[in-house]
Structure 1
C-alpha cells in the first residue's frame, strides 16, 4: 500500500501543473476472462507547458502509453501505481491501454459469482482512491471532468453507469465465441470527480419507474438486485421512499435534482452501507430482505436511501476540494437524511434513532486517542481512509443540527441553497459554505467554526442543583468540562426538561415533561435562573430534545428516578437520552457496569423504539462481556440469557421486540441451560406465538448453539446445504469460527490471514465469529498471533481487507491487562509504522483500556 499512497502536497502540486481536465474517454471490455479486463483511457487536459506530473493507475499489465502522439515505454514510466508524464504541452492527450484486475475486496471493479446459479456480477467502488484500479486517472477530487464510458459485456447483461443506459450495439466476445456480446456507449457525464464514476454490470433483475423533477423533467428510476434475490426485492417501497426524498430535497434545497436518472443497485459483498455515485447508487444487498428484519433495520434502510440521495447535492454537485473537508459531504448528508426521514416518511422518530445510534457512535469515536476535528488534517490517502468515522458522519451531523437551531432553520437552509447555486459542478472548502451561512443568518461563524469544526473532543454537561427544605429549586447551574487533552469549552444551545410522575385518566402513572427551558450554555458554569423558584422535578434532563452535542450526566435524584421509572417515561427521545447518559457514565468508569445491566434488564421490555432496543442490547452485551468485573462475568451473562429469554416469551406475539429479544438471546446465551430453548427453536419443539424462525434467524440460533459447544461442523454443513447462497456461506463461516475451541479459532484465524484470496464478505463473517466467545480464555493464544501478523497484513493486503482483519480479529473479549500490554508493546516497537495502521491498532487498544477502567469501577 505505501506505493499506492498520495499526499495532499502532491495533489496540490499536481493541480498546479494540470490546470484543467477537459474529458475522460474510458473503454472497458469485461469479456476478456475471469481475472482481468481490458481498459483503455484517453484523458484530454491542459497543463503548464514543459511541466511534469503523473497519472494514477493500478494494473497488472500496462500495454500502451501514448502522450500527445508520442509512445512512452511502460517499463520506463510506470511504477508504484503512477505513470510519469514529462514535457507537457498546453493542451494534452494521454492514451493508456492496460489489463486491469478484478477484485474480491469490494474495491475497484469487484467480481462476484453467485453460488445459486453461477452468474457473474460486477460493480465498482471507487471512493477514496480506487478508480485507478479500473482506468488511468488523476485520482484527486478537485480535478473534475466529464467521463464518457463505453463497456463491452455479454449482451444478456444489464449495464449501468452514471448516465442513462443507451441501446447497445453488437460486439464480439473476447474469450467465448458462443456468448453474444454487446457494447454500450454512454453519453458523457456532467463534470464530476473521479471517485464518483460507476459501473454495475451483470444479469441483474430490475424494476423501473419514474418521477417528475421540480423543473418538469422526467427522471427515470431503476431498482436492481441479483436475479437469485429478486423475489425479495420490494422495489415499490424503495421507489416510493425515493420519490419522497426527491420532493423533500428539491423543495428544501431549492435546487432541482442535478442528474438525468436515478438507479439504485443492491450489490453483493459490499464493504459499506451504500455509495453516492451520481445516478448509479450502490447499496449493500443486506437491504434486500430475504428474511424478517427488525424495524431498526427497515428504518436504517430508509435513512441510507435518503443519505445517498442527499449526496447528489452534497458531494456530487458540489464536491470538497480535498479530503480534509470530507465532512462537507458526509456530515451534511447524515443531517439532511435524518431530517428528511423524520419529516417526509413514516419514520417520524428518526431523531430518536439518530440520538440512540449515530450520536452514540460519535461520542465513542470522539473519546478515542485518535479523535480529530470534524475538519480533519488529511495528509494523504491513508489518512482519509481511516477518517470515514463517527466524527465525520455523526458528530458533524450533530453539530449541524445544533447550528441550525442556533442560527434558525430557515436561515440555515437558505445558506445551503445559496452554496449549491454558487458552487455547482465545482469544488469547495469550508470557508465557501460559511460565507453563505453568514450571509443568510447575519451571524459571524468564525468563532463557532473554530470551536466546533476545528477542535476535537466531547464536552460533559452536569447539573448543579440546590433545593430548600420544601423541595424548591434555589439554584441551578450547568457545569461544563472537557478532557485534558482536548480542553475546548464550547457554546451549546440546549433544552432543560423537567419531568414528573403524572397520573393519567385511566389510573396509569407516567413520567411526563411538565416544563422546559431552552438556554445558551457557554463557559464552565452557566446559571439557569429561569428554573429558580420551581419545584424540584423527579427527573431533570439536560439536553432535552437532543439539540446539543455533549455527554450529559444526571444528578443523583434524577438518576434514581430514571432508573426506577424509565419504563414510564413516555417520550422516546427523552428515554434515548437517559439510556445514553447511563451508558456514557459506565464507559467513563463513573457508574458500575452491573448497575447498567440492572437498568437494561428492568426496563428494556417497555422500550418502543426499535433502534433504541438494538443499540441498548448491543451495549448490554459489551458491558456484560468486557465491562463487568471478571469475577462477575459468568453469573451476569447467565442472568442476562435467562432474563432475555423470559422477556421474549412475554413479548407481544409477532412484535419487533419479540424478534429482537430472541436474536439477543441467541447472541448472549452462555450456559448449558440456554441450550434447550435455542435447540427447541431450531427443531420446532419450542415455539413463540407470532415468531417465524426463518432462514436468517435459524442461522443466528445455530451460531449461538455452536458458541455453546452444542452444535458442530456437521450441523453447520447441513444448514449450508439447505441455504447454499452468498448469505448462507457467510453465515456458515461465522458459525464455524464461533466454535469454542482453540483449534476452531486457529482454523478461522489462518483461513483469513494465511490465505490471500478470501473474499471480503467471508473475511468479515469469519472475524465476527472468531471474537464471538462465551469464555474469552479461548482467545489467549491469539494475542501474540495477532500482533505478529499486523505488519504483514498491512503490507500485503488492500486497505479495506487490512481494516477488516486488523479490527475484526482483535481479541477484544479478553479485555485484560495482558492484551493491553502486548498491544502497547507492539506500538512502542513500531513507532515508524504507517500512521493509518498505528491508528487502527491504537483504537483497538483504547477499547481495552476503557474496559479495564470500567471493570475497576464495577464494585
Structure 2
C-alpha cells in the first residue's frame, strides 16, 4: 500500500470544498484483468457537473501509470496533470466528462484490487477492498462518501472466471479476436459511494438461492474458492441470510434497496467483512475446515447480520463525511446483535457481546488514544486509525442505552422515517437524532453530548453501611472518572441482589432475590429502596447490562464470585461478574492470582459460548502480564496444571474440551504437558471425544515450536500435510514462535523488511513474534522496534504498519526501564502521529501491567 502522503490524505475541508462544487452523475469503469500477474488496465469515464463553471478541482487515482487524460475532449498531459496521486482539473464546465486511461497494480496487502493464487490448486482469485479510501487504487474517483454516483462496470477477464459486482451479473460476451477472454458489461448501479463498490473476479465456486420476502424476491449468491467448496455450509448460510432479511425488512419497513445479495468468502482478507452494496465480501476463515466451538458460529452470524444491516444504514443512507463513521459501524453492531437475539437461534447474543465485544471497548476506551464515539475525523489518516473498539462496541453499547432511553418502538419509528427521508443520499447524525426526537418526543441533544462527544468510561462502585443484623442502613452508587476524561454521565442502572439458596436437590445456587432500577447521576446517588434490605451474597450493579460502565464488586460479592460464580444460572449476570473481575484485575484492584483462581474454579460451569472460549484467554493475560514476577513461575505452573484438570474433566466432544486443549497448548511448558501435546499430535495418545483435526494439529505444532521442540523439519512435515494458504500462514506463525535468535531474525525480516509477503502471512508472523517467557531473544528487538517505528508508517503504509506497530510492541518485557525508554522515544521521535499512537498504547499497557504486578505481590 502507498502511504498517505499529502495528495492521498484527503482532509475534511478539501472534501467539503469539492462537494460544494461538484455533483457526480456516472462512473463508467473498464477494467482489464488479462494483462498479467502484477497489473491491470483501468479506464474511467467520469461524468459530473460543476456549480461554478471555470473553477478548478481534482480527481483521485493512487499509484497508477497514467497513459491518457481527457477533460471535455481536451487532452491533459499526464506528466503535469497527474501528481501526488491527484489529477488536476481546471477550467471546468457546467457539465463535464473526464476520461482517464491507466495501468494499476494488483495489491498483496488486501487494499485496492487484491490478487491471490491458491497454493492448493494454483487457481487465481481477485477481489476489491475499498473502505476507507482505496477505490482510487483501481479507478479514477472523487474519493469521498458524499459524492455518490451510478456505476457501470465493464470487466475483461478469462472466460472461465466468475465476475461479480454490485449490480446483477450479466452473461459474459466473448471478446472478438481473443480466445478464452470475455467481457462482462454490468448494468448501472443505484446511486452509491465509491467505497461500497466492488469487483470480485476469479475461478470462484458459486451457489445460488432466492429469499422470498415481504417486498418480493431477493436473489442470493454464495461464493468461495474451489479448494473450500466442501467447507461452505451453504444451507446454514442461506438460513441465516433469510432470517436476517425477514427481520430487517420488517423492522425497517423498507425493502432491501439493491437488486441481489451476494456473499463472497475471499482469501487473505484484512477485515471481518465489508458491506459492498449487494456484494458483501467476508473472510473465508468463516468457512471452517476444522471443528469450531459455538462462539465461532455465533460470531459468524453476527458478522453476516452486521453487513446486512449496512445495506440500509451505510449503503442506502450514507454518512456525509467520516466523522459519522461511528454511525455506520455502531448501528450495524447494535442491529446485528438485536437481530440475532430476535430472529435466530443465537438468542443470548447480548451475553456474548458483554463477554467479548464490550471488553474490547472498555480496553480501548482506557488507552491514551481513546476518542469520542463521534470522533473528529479531520482527515483520512484520522479515519484509518479510528476503526476500533470505540467505533464498534462502545458505540453499540451506547446505542443499546439510547434504545432503552427512547423505547424500541419509538427508535424503529424514527429509523423508518430516516431511511425514507435520506434514501440513496447522505446524512449527518443530526438528521438521525431529529428523527428519533420526533418519534419519541424526547430531547436527545444533551444525551448525545454526554455520551457521544466525550471520551472515557465511568466506574460505578457500591457504598453502604450495615447494621448488626447485616441490613443496609445506607446505600449509594458512587460514580468516578479519570482526571483526563472527567465526564460523569447519567446511567439507567439495574441493581441485582443474589443469594446462595439450596435447590430441590440440595445444590447451592445463586438466585436473584430482588432487583431495583435507578437513575445514577453525578458523584453519588442515594438508593433509599435498598435501606433495610439484608445484604446479599452477591450485589451486582448494572444487572441487566443497561449501561456502559465499569462496575465494582464489594468484598463479600467478590468472595462469592470467586468461590461460586458457576452457581449463578443467569448467563448475562455471570458475564457482568466476569467483566467486573477482569476490570478489577486490569485496574490493580484484584490480584492476578485471585483472578486465575476464579477462572479455574468456575469456567467449567460457564454455558455462554463466548464466556467459555474467551475467559481462559483473560486468565492467560493475568498469568503472563499482571502477576508478580517473583510468583509468576509458580502461577504459570498452577494455571497449566489447572487446565490439565479442566481438560481431563471436560465432557468428551464438548466445546469446553476443545477450549481447554487449545488453552493448554498455548501455555504448555512442563515436561508432562509437552509430552501430552506431542502424543496428541503423533497419535500415540487419544483423549475421548477429541478429534485432532487440521487446525488443532497446527495449534499443537505451535505449542511445541514455542517450547523449542519443533524445528523447521517438523514444521515442514506438517506443511506437507496441509499445503494450503492457511497451512502456510500457520507454519509461518509456528516458525516465528520458536525461542531462538535465528527464528526471530527470520521473522523480523518477514514482518517489517520485505514487501513481497502476503498481508495475512505477515500478520501471522507479527502476531506470533512477542511470546511470554522468551525475554532473552526478544530483548534486542526493543531498540529495533523503536528504530523502525520512526519511519514504518511512511515506508509500509497503513495496513502493514499498523499491524506491526501494534503487535510487535515488546509487551512481554514490561519493566520500568522499558517504560522509561519508550516514553523517551515518544518525546524525541519524528514518527508519524498515527505510528506514535500504537507505541503510546503499548506504553500504556506496560504501565498497567506494572501496577497489576505490584498489586499481585501484596
Normalised TM-score (structure 1): 0.98
Aligned to 1:180: 180
- Partners of 1:412 and 1:513 lie apart in 2 by 30
Aligned to 2:831: 833
Question: What SS does the corresponding residue of 2:157 show, helix, strand or coil?
Answer: strand
Q: Which of residues 87, 90, 111 in structure 2 aligns to 1:86?
A: 90
The equivalences for 1:172-211 within 5 A come to: 180-211=180-211
Q: Which of residues 845, 848, 852 in structure 2 aligns to 1:847?
A: 845
Conserved 8 A contact 1:777-1:814: no
Aligned to 2:270: 271
Shift of 1:448: 0.2
- Partners of 1:673 and 1:681 lie apart in 2 by 12
Q: Which of residues 40, 44, 52 in structure 2 aligns to 1:41?
A: 44
- Partners of 2:534 and 2:750 lie apart in 1 by 64
The equivalences for 1:319-358 within 5 A come to: 319-358=318-357
Shift of 1:245: 0.4
- Partners of 1:97 and 1:468 lie apart in 2 by 83
Shift of 1:180: 0.5
Q: Residue deviations 1:304-358, cap 9 Å, x none?
A: 0000000001100111111110011000000000001111111111000010111
- Partners of 1:524 and 1:581 lie apart in 2 by 20
Question: What SS does the corresponding residue of 1:208 show, helix, strand or coil?
Answer: strand
Shift of 1:172: 5.5
Question: What SS does the corresponding residue of 1:584 show, helix, strand or coil?
Answer: helix
Range with greater deviation from structure 2 (752-761 or 395-404): 752-761
Q: Residue deviations 1:96-140, cap 9 Å, x none?
A: 010010001000000000001111100000000000000000000
Q: Is 2:286 aligned against 1:290? A: no
Aligned to 1:670: 669
- Partners of 1:626 and 1:565 lie apart in 2 by 25
The equivalences for 1:73-472 within 5 A come to: 73-171=77-175, 180-215=180-215, 217-472=216-471
- Partners of 2:481 and 2:808 lie apart in 1 by 33
Range with greater deviation from structure 2 (806-815 or 284-293): 806-815
Shift of 1:670: 2.4
Shift of 1:820: 1.8
Question: What SS does the corresponding residue of 1:797 show, helix, strand or coil?
Answer: helix
Aligned to 2:535: 536
- Partners of 1:456 and 1:773 lie apart in 2 by 32
- Partners of 2:155 and 2:722 lie apart in 1 by 34
Question: What SS does the corresponding residue of 2:580 show, helix, strand or coil?
Answer: helix
Q: Residue deviations 1:343-391, cap 9 Å, x none?
A: 1111111000010111101100000111000100011111000100011
Shift of 1:59: 3.0
Range with greater deviation from structure 2 (380-389 or 512-521): 512-521
Q: Residue deviations 1:258-314, cap 9 Å, x none?
A: 111000000000001100001100000110110001111111100000000000011
Question: What SS does the corresponding residue of 2:790 show, helix, strand or coil?
Answer: helix
- Partners of 2:671 and 2:633 lie apart in 1 by 12
Aligned to 1:736: 735
- Partners of 1:191 and 1:809 lie apart in 2 by 42
- Partners of 1:654 and 1:356 lie apart in 2 by 23
Q: Residue deviations 1:131-186, cap 9 Å, x none?
A: 0000000000111111111101111111000011011100168xxx6x61111111
Conserved 8 A contact 2:552-2:580: yes
Shift of 1:563: 1.3
Aligned to 2:69: 65
Range with greater deviation from structure 2 (731-740 or 402-411): 402-411
Shift of 1:612: 0.9
- Partners of 2:64 and 2:445 lie apart in 1 by 49
Conserved 8 A contact 2:561-2:598: no
- Partners of 1:224 and 1:40 lie apart in 2 by 27
- Partners of 1:276 and 1:95 lie apart in 2 by 28
Question: What SS does the corresponding residue of 2:588 show, helix, strand or coil?
Answer: coil
Shift of 1:699: 0.3
- Tell me the matched-pair count: 852
Conserved 8 A contact 2:705-2:738: yes
Q: Which runs of 5+ in 1 are unaligned?
A: none
Shift of 1:485: 0.6
- Partners of 2:186 and 2:674 lie apart in 1 by 57
Question: What SS does the corresponding residue of 2:534 show, helix, strand or coil?
Answer: coil
- Partners of 2:293 and 2:792 lie apart in 1 by 35
- Partners of 1:167 and 1:494 lie apart in 2 by 58
Conserved 8 A contact 1:740-1:773: no
Conserved 8 A contact 1:707-1:774: no
- Partners of 1:172 and 1:579 lie apart in 2 by 65
- Partners of 1:434 and 1:8 lie apart in 2 by 22
- Partners of 2:636 and 2:83 lie apart in 1 by 55
Shift of 1:833: 3.2
Aligned to 2:30: 27
The equivalences for 1:487-636 within 5 A come to: 487-636=486-635
Conserved 8 A contact 1:255-1:417: yes
- Partners of 2:481 and 2:136 lie apart in 1 by 43
Q: Which of residues 843, 855, 858 in structure 2 aligns to 1:857?
A: 855
- Partners of 1:628 and 1:521 lie apart in 2 by 34
Range with greater deviation from structure 2 (122-131 or 754-763): 754-763
Question: What SS does the corresponding residue of 2:615 show, helix, strand or coil?
Answer: helix
Conserved 8 A contact 1:546-1:577: yes
Q: Residue deviations 1:678-724, cap 9 Å, x none?
A: 00110112211111000000000110011111121110000001111
- Partners of 2:26 and 2:184 lie apart in 1 by 18
Aligned to 1:779: 778
Aligned to 1:757: 756
- Partners of 2:788 and 2:535 lie apart in 1 by 58
Question: What SS does the corresponding residue of 2:206 show, helix, strand or coil?
Answer: strand
Conserved 8 A contact 1:213-1:257: no
- Partners of 1:777 and 1:672 lie apart in 2 by 21
Question: What SS does the corresponding residue of 1:798 show, helix, strand or coil?
Answer: helix
Q: Residue deviations 1:553-610, cap 9 Å, x none?
A: 0111111111111110111111110010011011111121111111111111111112
Range with greater deviation from structure 2 (80-89 or 773-782): 773-782
Q: Which runs of 5+ in 2 are unaligned?
A: none
- Partners of 1:270 and 1:211 lie apart in 2 by 27
Aligned to 1:819: 818
Shift of 1:798: 2.5
Question: What SS does the corresponding residue of 2:114 show, helix, strand or coil?
Answer: strand
Conserved 8 A contact 1:784-1:822: no
Conserved 8 A contact 2:55-2:90: yes
Conserved 8 A contact 2:791-2:832: no
Question: What SS does the corresponding residue of 2:542 show, helix, strand or coil?
Answer: strand
Question: What SS does the corresponding residue of 2:545 show, helix, strand or coil?
Answer: coil
Across the aligned residues of Structure 1 and Structure 2, the Cα RMSD in angstroms comes to: 1.2
Question: What SS does the corresponding residue of 1:218 show, helix, strand or coil?
Answer: strand
Q: Is 2:810 aligned against 1:793? A: no
Shift of 1:835: 2.2
Conserved 8 A contact 2:789-2:831: no
Conserved 8 A contact 1:17-1:52: no
